[in-house]
């Protein structure tokens, strides 16, 4: 009899490791008409494999970024000296000419032909339409202002000598050892100063972390959060979802063995449990995983809404290799059409739907808050963490830009002669798809961690 009781107790303990992380990560999501199980099936069985194939193509693997910007908010104590924090930039001959050459239009071959036609017309015209240097600069500034007024994130100047191409496949996101007070300061600044939270309300933190909070503070926080408008709740959940996704990547690609003979990266179940187990995180872990699914829905919706932009005949994934470029555009369109077919999309019309003047102000407040968060990424001391932080915040910012540009996307001209009402730079396109690739990978990794935790029974 005692033996039976002992076996039952052991089974109960082993089951708890699995259920403690995932028992609450199921069913309907707050503020949505979707459920976790529908997302899991759609992502893991349909979208994830195709998306990974696309992201391995040259157009999406090379990302131009400036990793040398100074932190604009505080004096950084220095850069991470750990070797796994380093980023290896590309040499010029490693990047396809169609991407790196300024003489090529990176989006459209048709635009190149039109540029030649315009030059000829300029010389043949009987009327002097030349502009003064001051007027030309003013027009450039207006155009830049128009672009920046739509953006939710900082976009690095691709022409800056400090901007370099990075091969994302050779610099994967994984655990680097970057942690402690400096890493904590980044996330603390994001949550405390940019999530519309008063300083008197403390957010719940994981016990035994650099700082921790009590259960009563968690109750106060969620009581405050539920009292906020849907837009501010959504903003917090997006940031929490992004934070969760990054933590999943670090747990899934953890340095398990660092010897003279090899470096072995893999799943660290203990690390995952410390970040997401309900008992080890005072109930916070499962809530954060649910926020990951909310983030997935937002970025998936943006991809579906952006389909008309990418369907334009003038748009190309231009690398200078026509057959390959066309094949990858077809794959991109297939993925976007698949995204559009998802049955339970997030309804973004529920956001900013009140009084027009108040909604416009709230939307601008959200845009500026996220813009600020993207600037905080330049304060990250680990270069590899900075690279992926900048890419993922830029990708989410681009997704928000798309969601709130519906009228401009619908008004896209049928002819490329007209100035488009909506534009995305190559940097925005690469970050948008790679950022969603990271979220998609996180959802897929949850399936792996479920299996690993079940094996511990």
pLDDT of residue 121: 36
Higher-confidence position of 395 and 113: 395
**pLDDT at 145 > cutoff 80:** no
pLDDT of residue 378: 93
Contact 204, 221 (CB under 8 A): yes
Confidence of residue 296 (pLDDT cuts 50, 70, 90): very high
**pLDDT at 219 > cutoff 70:** yes
pLDDT of residue 263: 84
**pLDDT at 159 > cutoff 80:** no
Confidence of residue 456 (pLDDT cuts 50, 70, 90): confident
Mean pLDDT of 17-25: 65
CA separation (Å) from 65 to 59, 154, 171, 348, 436? 15, 11, 13, 30, 18
Mean pLDDT of 270-297: 93
Per-residue pLDDT reduced to its tens digit, 240-270: 999 999 999 999 999 988 877 788 899 999 9
pLDDT of residue 23: 61
List the one residue out of 314, 316, 317 whose CA is nearest residue 417. Answer: 314
Contact 331, 292 (CB under 8 A): no
pLDDT of residue 155: 80
**DSSP H stretches of helix in 253-343:** 269-276, 284-305, 307-311, 322-340
pLDDT of residue 134: 53
| % of the chain surpassing 70 pLDDT | 80
**pLDDT at 130 > cutoff 50:** no
**pLDDT at 38 > cutoff 70:** yes
Token duo for residue 97: 């000419």
User: What DSSP state is assigned to residue 77?
Assistant: -
Higher-confidence position of 184 and 169: 169
Contact 60, 433 (CB under 8 A): yes
Of these ranges, 101-105, 316-320, 335-339, the one predicted with the greatest mean pLDDT is 335-339
Per-residue pLDDT reduced to its tens digit, 188-217: 999 998 888 888 888 887 555 555 555 677
Mean pLDDT of 161-175: 93
Token duo for residue 75: 């004096």
Token duo for residue 193: 């100063």
State the Cα angle at 201 between 197 and 206, rounded to 5°. 100
Token duo for residue 363: 């939307």
pLDDT of residue 120: 40
Q: Report residue 240 CA to chain centroid gap.
A: 12
Contact 204, 282 (CB under 8 A): yes
Contact 197, 314 (CB under 8 A): no
Q: Return the bridge partners of 266, or none.
A: 254
C-beta atoms surrounding 338 within 10 Å: 17
C-beta atoms surrounding 67 within 10 Å: 20
User: Which three-class secondary structure state does DSSP give residue 404?
Assistant: coil
Mean pLDDT of 276-292: 92
pLDDT of residue 435: 98
């Amino acid at each position: 009899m005692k033996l039976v009781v002992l076996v039952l107790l052991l089974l109960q303990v082993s089951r708890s490791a699995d259920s403690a992380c995932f028992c609450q990560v199921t069913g309907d999501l707050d503020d949505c008409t979707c459920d976790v199980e529908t997302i899991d099936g759609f992502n893991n069985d349909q979208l994830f494999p195709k998306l990974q194939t696309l992201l391995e193509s040259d157009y999406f693997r090379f990302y131009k970024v400036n990793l040398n910007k100074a932190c604009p908010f505080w004096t950084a104590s220095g850069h991470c000296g750990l070797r796994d924090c380093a980023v290896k930039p590309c040499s010029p001959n490693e990047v396809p000419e169609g991407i790196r050459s300024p003489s090529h239009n990176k989006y459209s071959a048709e635009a190149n032909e039109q540029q030649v036609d315009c030059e000829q017309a300029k010389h043949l015209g009987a009327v002097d339409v030349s502009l003064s240097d001051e007027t030309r600069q003013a027009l450039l500034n207006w155009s830049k202002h128009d672009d920046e007024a739509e953006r939710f994130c900082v976009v690095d100047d691709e022409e800056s000598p400090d901007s370099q191409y990075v091969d994302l496949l050779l610099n994967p996101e994984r655990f680097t050892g970057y942690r402690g007070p400096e890493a904590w300061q980044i996330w603390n600044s994001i949550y405390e100063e940019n999530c519309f939270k008063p300083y008197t309300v403390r957010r719940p933190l994981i016990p035994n972390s650099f700082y921790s909070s009590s259960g009563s503070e968690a109750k106060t926080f969620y009581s405050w959060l539920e009292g906020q408008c849907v837009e501010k709740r959504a903003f917090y959940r997006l940031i929490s979802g992004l934070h969760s996704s990054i933590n999943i990547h670090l747990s899934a690609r953890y340095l398990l063995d660092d010897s003279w003979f090899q470096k072995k990266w893999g799943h660290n179940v203990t690390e995952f449990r410390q970040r997401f187990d309900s008992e080890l995180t005072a109930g916070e872990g499962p809530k954060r995983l649910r926020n990951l699914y909310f983030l997935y829905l937002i970025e998936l919706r943006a991809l579906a809404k952006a389909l008309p932009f990418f369907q334009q005949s003038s748009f190309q994934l231009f690398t200078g290799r026509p057959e390959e470029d066309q094949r990858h555009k077809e794959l991109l369109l297939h993925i976007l059409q698949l995204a559009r077919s998802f049955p339970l999309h997030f309804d973004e019309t529920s956001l900013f739907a009140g009084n027009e003047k108040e909604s416009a102000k709230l939307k601008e407040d959200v845009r500026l808050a996220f813009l600020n968060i993207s600037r905080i990424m330049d304060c990250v001391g680990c270069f590899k963490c900075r690279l992926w932080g900048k890419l993922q915040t830029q990708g989410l910012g681009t997704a928000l830009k798309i969601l709130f540009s519906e009228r401009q996307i619908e008004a896209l001209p049928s002819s490329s002669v007209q100035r488009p009402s909506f534009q995305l730079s190559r940097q925005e396109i690469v970050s948008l798809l790679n950022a969603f690739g990271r979220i998609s990978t996180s959802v897929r990794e949850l399936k792996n961690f479920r299996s690993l935790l079940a094996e511990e029974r």
